[in-house]
Chains A and B, each alone.
Chain A
Amino acid sequence: MTEKDLEGMTITELAPQIKSRRVSPVELTDLFLKRIQRINPLINAYTTVTEGSAREQAQAAEDEIRRDQYRGPLHGIPVSVKENICIKGVRTTAGSKALAEWVPEHDATIVQRIREAGAVLLGKTNMHEWAAGGTTINPFYGTTRNPWDRSRIAAGSSGGSGAAVATSLCLASLGTDNGGSVRNPASVCGVVGLKPTFGRLSHFGGVDGSGGYSTDHFGILTKTVADCGAVLQATAGFDSKDPRCADEPVPDYSKFVGPPIGGLRIGLIEEYFDSLMVRDVRAAFDNAIEQFKKLGAKIETVRVAHMNLISPVWACITRSENVSAHVPYLKTRPRDYSPGLLRQIVSSMLIPAGTYMTAQRVRRLICEEFDEALSRVDVIVTPTSPMAAPTIEECEQGFVIADGKKISLRDTGVNFRSLGTAPFNVTGHPALTVCCGFTPNDLPIGMQIVGGVFDEGTVLRVAHGYEAATEWHRRAPELLY
């Protein structure tokens, strides 16, 4: 096997080869490490590469497999972990200056679980400072660049994870999603990104202060839907260390990857998203809906009456909840924040408690409306982001011109680019992005599939049905060649 062979490889394809010893985890890890050394300087996806421990883990996997102790589809598979998820003994900064030297003494539960599944941890991926934005233009650890066009952002806050998966610098990455921070990078990098139901994945070992207590979720980025199901299988389930984690049964997700989707009901929320999408995204999304029709799915319109209040509900709740974790840093090292984030944190301290509670009341209405909508359809489908990746320059100037209109990228509430994803951080429904096309200048466009609470299986089924009928996931950025 050569480094070039890694391009296009998936967990699902590699796992049987590892199991049958045709592929060596040691050699595979070595190839990924070489590839990171060559490509990471171009895109800045990784902040820390744990070469030594990765080689040890790969050797351990190889020894076990040689002894017929194969653990499952992640055994010997190289993965990465976002900078705000703890790995024991590895610097975990949350993209901040304040935690630049912090080395946790424990694994996050999902890290522990992915280790137990036999995965090889390659290192930590770059992110937006404290996950408080969606560009991964990080003043302390550099900007992660979009592998499809390096003048553009890889989005965020899990930008390093999206770029790493898209460029085959790992086969899966664990990220966090407080308003779209898994789904947006996955979307603009052309890969799969899943934010499961709130409580499906343990949040133990996430860095406090990088998301709201009730809006932040751990999530998964992979090249394909089947790979995503495999990682979810290994990481989902109750964890007594996290009071937010749900004691819901975890089904066999592999059974959802493959069945046809004919007859399934797909809901569209037309009013809200119609006004958001720029032309290229609209065209790709419309084509995807036509594809669903060809596959035999039934398209219906659903109504969520209070969609217009998503932005204030999300902004009020996530900022109020997040700010308390910053008090110790504000007291001791306030100048370790970038000026913009310091302003946001101080302003968040002035949100009245009554406003927060009112936001939680409106949130209940919105959740009930989505539950009602999802009782009439199997999934809801939306564009993931209303636009493809903007340039780094556009993000820094704070606006983009699209379809002849000036669109602000510095909104007071939800950022324009997260208006498609943040609703499901408010409601907690599972939401997955899958590539549904490209702009004329070859930038990926994502489609979001949203399911009922704890029904990740149907989300995976619909996403896989679409993916299998299209070729988008087979494209790779030219950077690789």
Chain B
Amino acid sequence: MKEAVRGINEQYGLELSEQEIERIAQQVADANVLFEQLFIDGIDGVMPLPIVSRKQVKR
């Protein structure tokens, strides 16, 4: 993950310190753990929600 952060650092000229790169890599790792919860059974068959899709629900 650190290599990916380094890549962004170089691409954008961010001049991040090694310590900052490590902290960002850790944040990415923490987020990935959180996002793993999304891959629930059967989710592949669900259509992703497009941005503008809300319509009044008739009761």
Which residues on A are within 8 Å of B, measured CB to CB? 197-199, 213-214, 243-244, 246, 248, 306, 308-309, 311-313, 315-316, 330-331, 334-335, 339, 342-344, 346-347, 349-351, 355, 357-365, 367, 371, 374-375, 412-413, 428, 452-455
* Known contacts A331-B12, A453-B57; 8 further A-B pairs (Cβ under 8 A): A339-B20, A342-B20, A346-B9, A346-B16, A350-B1, A361-B49, A363-B48, A455-B56
Query: Closest CB of chain A to B30's CB: distance in Å?
Result: 5
> Interface range on chain B: under 10, 10 to 19, 20 to 34, or 35 or more?
35 or more
Q: Which residues of A contact B56 (CB under 8 A)?
A: 248, 452-455
| A358-B43 contact, Cβ under 8 Å, with A312-B37, A331-B12, A343-B24 | yes
Task: List 27 A-B pairs, Cβ < 8 Å.
Answer: A243-B52, A244-B52, A309-B38, A309-B40, A312-B34, A316-B35, A331-B12, A334-B12, A343-B23, A343-B24, A346-B5, A346-B8, A347-B5, A349-B8, A357-B48, A361-B44, A361-B47, A361-B48, A362-B40, A363-B48, A367-B49, A371-B57, A374-B57, A375-B59, A412-B27, A452-B59, A453-B57
Q: Which residues of A contact B57 (CB under 8 A)?
A: 371, 374-375, 452-453
Query: Closest CB of chain A to B34's CB: distance in Å?
Result: 5
Name the contact of A199 in the complex, choosing from B14, B23, B54, B59 (C-beta under 8 A).
B54
| A364-B49 contact, Cβ under 8 Å, with A343-B24, A349-B8 | yes
* B31, A315: Cβ atoms closer than 8 Å: yes
| A350-B52 contact, Cβ under 8 Å, with A309-B37, A358-B38 | no
Q: Which residue of A lies closest to B21 (CB)?
A: A346
Q: Which residue of B lies closest to A334 (CB)?
A: B14
Q: Which residues of A contact B23 (CB under 8 A)?
A: 343
* B28, A355: Cβ atoms closer than 8 Å: no
Binding site secondary structure of chain A: helix
Query: Closest CB of chain A to B43's CB: distance in Å?
Result: 5
Q: How far is the CA of A476 from the CA of B1 in the complex (A)?
A: 51
Query: Closest CB of chain B to A267's CB: distance in Å?
Result: 13
Query: Closest CB of chain A to B20's CB: distance in Å?
Result: 7
Q: How far is the CA of A213 from the CA of B51 in the complex (A)?
A: 8
Q: Which residue of B lies closest to A246 (CB)?
A: B54
